[in-house]
Chain A
Amino acid sequence: SYELTQPPSMSVSPGQTASITCSGDKLGDKYAYWYQQKPGQSPVLVIYQDNQRPSGIPERFSGSNSGNTATLTISGTQAMDEADYYCQPWDSNSYVFGTGTKVTVL
């Protein structure tokens, strides 16, 4: 089965940039999607097709995907961005989620 790896956690100061990576074999050959999940809430899509932002998602969220790594970048991180983030590609009739990254803003 296809495996994706994310760093378990990261800390970022308010106003700084957070870069969350997602690694998988030839991930750059697939589209990557990113979700934000706050405690007790359902996941919310923040990036689709590698680098597209859904309506209502702030411009500080951006994405890239190349080689074996997809990256979600949060520029000018705000306290409200504290959450778990998951990557997700689609591969061979199956969806796979990354292991998740807990972003702490402090």
Chain B
Amino acid sequence: QVQLQESGPGLVKPSGTLSLTCAVSGGSISSSNWWSWVRQPPGKGLEWIGEIYHSGSTNYNPSLKSRVTISVDKSKNQFSLKLSSVTAADTAVYYCARVSSVVPAARGWFDPWGQGTLVTVSS
């Protein structure tokens, strides 16, 4: 059973870069799935950030595209998120998730999710 675990600093200074890693266990990141990042500001709804395939292909939320980079490390079975020029508005719980679908490599639903990690942007 695939499990995901986020890790990274819980506090980032304004104008800095947020960096998180998602470790995949119980399965291979080179499987026929996309891998995504989703965030949730405190008390608010869910927002998709972007996704990556093991080939390195990426898609990003247009509203964040200029600041987001998602990369994959197949040797470590993990993928990572970098969000630059952060402000207080980027304070959120950040989740990583596998994109599942009936058709291999297609888009679909998020399952499973990691437990999430709170990142606070503050000086």
Contacts and interface: CB of A to CB of B under 8 A. Distances in A.
Interface of A: 1, 31, 33, 35, 42-45, 48-49, 54, 86, 88, 90, 93-100
6 contacts: A43-B46, A48-B108, A48-B111, A88-B109, A94-B59, A94-B61
The 6 lowest CB-CB distance pairs between A and B, nearest first, are A95-B48, A33-B109, A42-B113, A97-B46, A90-B107, A45-B111
Nearest to A100: B45
Given A88-B46, A95-B36, 5 more contacts: A43-B113, A86-B45, A95-B110, A96-B48, A97-B47
A45 B95 CA distance: 14
A35 B48 CA distance: 14
Contact of A97 (B45, B62, B107, B108): B45
Interface in B64-122: 95, 100, 102, 107-111, 113-116
Contacts of A97: 45-48
Interface in B15-57: 36, 45-48, 51
